[in-house]
Amino acid sequence: MPRVGTPPRMDPEAKLEEMGIDLPDVADPVADYVPAVETEANTVYVSGQLPTDEEGQLLATGRVGDDVSLEAAKEAAQRCAVNILAAVKDAVGDLSRVNRVVRVEGFVASADDFTQQPSVVNGASELFGDVFGPAGRHSRFAVGCNVLPLDTAVEIGAILEVED
């Protein structure tokens, strides 16, 4: 399969400002890891981010389809994406260095009969598209699970390509 070229980029910081989104401080890890790692191969790996607000409070807890509605879970996934952008900016200094979002990894704590995990993770995918334009389109997975750390309803990780 041929390599996909880098799509045209938007000014992500200006787009966030236009959308009224302020990036929060990066949340302290809840275990022994770092929020994001930039490699010499121009790749940033972002640890799973939870849907926390500026004060570090979880925005959605429980299982989607039981305690959490699809709409609330999608908003939580969007907040995870905002927290991913904060971790990326902290790691690389400026979001304009992002060439593209490569992969989004979504986990959704789900009721046994809930099957709309892709719709939940769309909250993150759509935000990346809004912020980065064509460079925000990515590969991804969206899986259901029984429970997530701190009883959060959604956790999202990402891999991004950055320029030198």
Residuewise pLDDT in 10s, the chain (164 residues): 456 666 666 799 999 999 999 999 998 888 999 999 999 999 999 999 999 998 889 999 999 999 999 999 999 999 999 999 999 999 999 999 999 999 999 999 999 999 999 999 999 999 999 999 999 999 999 999 999 999 999 999 999 999 98
Query: Is residue 117, in this structure, part of any structural domain at all?
Result: yes
Sign of the CA dihedral with 45 first, then 150, 61, and 148 last? positive
What is the Cα–Cα distance from 70 to 15, expressed in whole angstroms? Answer: 26
What integer pLDDT is reported at residue 4 of this predicted model? 65
What is the Cα–Cα distance from 45 to 48, expressed in whole angstroms? Answer: 10
Contact 8, 132 (CB under 8 A): no
Query: Is residue 3, in this structure, part of any structural domain at all?
Result: no
What is the Cα–Cα distance from 76 to 127, expressed in whole angstroms? Answer: 12
Query: Is residue 2, in this structure, part of any structural domain at all?
Result: no
> Both tokens of residue 67?
């305690």
What integer pLDDT is reported at residue 30 of this predicted model? 82
Domain ranges, residue 119 = 13-23+32-162
What integer pLDDT is reported at residue 105 of this predicted model? 98
CATH number of the domain within which 79 lies: 3.30.1330.40
Query: Is residue 1, in this structure, part of any structural domain at all?
Result: no
Neighbours of 133 (CB within 10 A): 16
- The region that residue 102 occupies, defined by phi over 0 for left and psi between -120 and 50 for alpha, beta otherwise, is alpha
Query: Is residue 73, in this structure, part of any structural domain at all?
Result: yes
Residues, the chain = 164
> What is the number of structural domains in the chain?
1
122 Cβ contact list (under 8 Å, min separation 6) = 74, 77
pTM over 0.85: yes
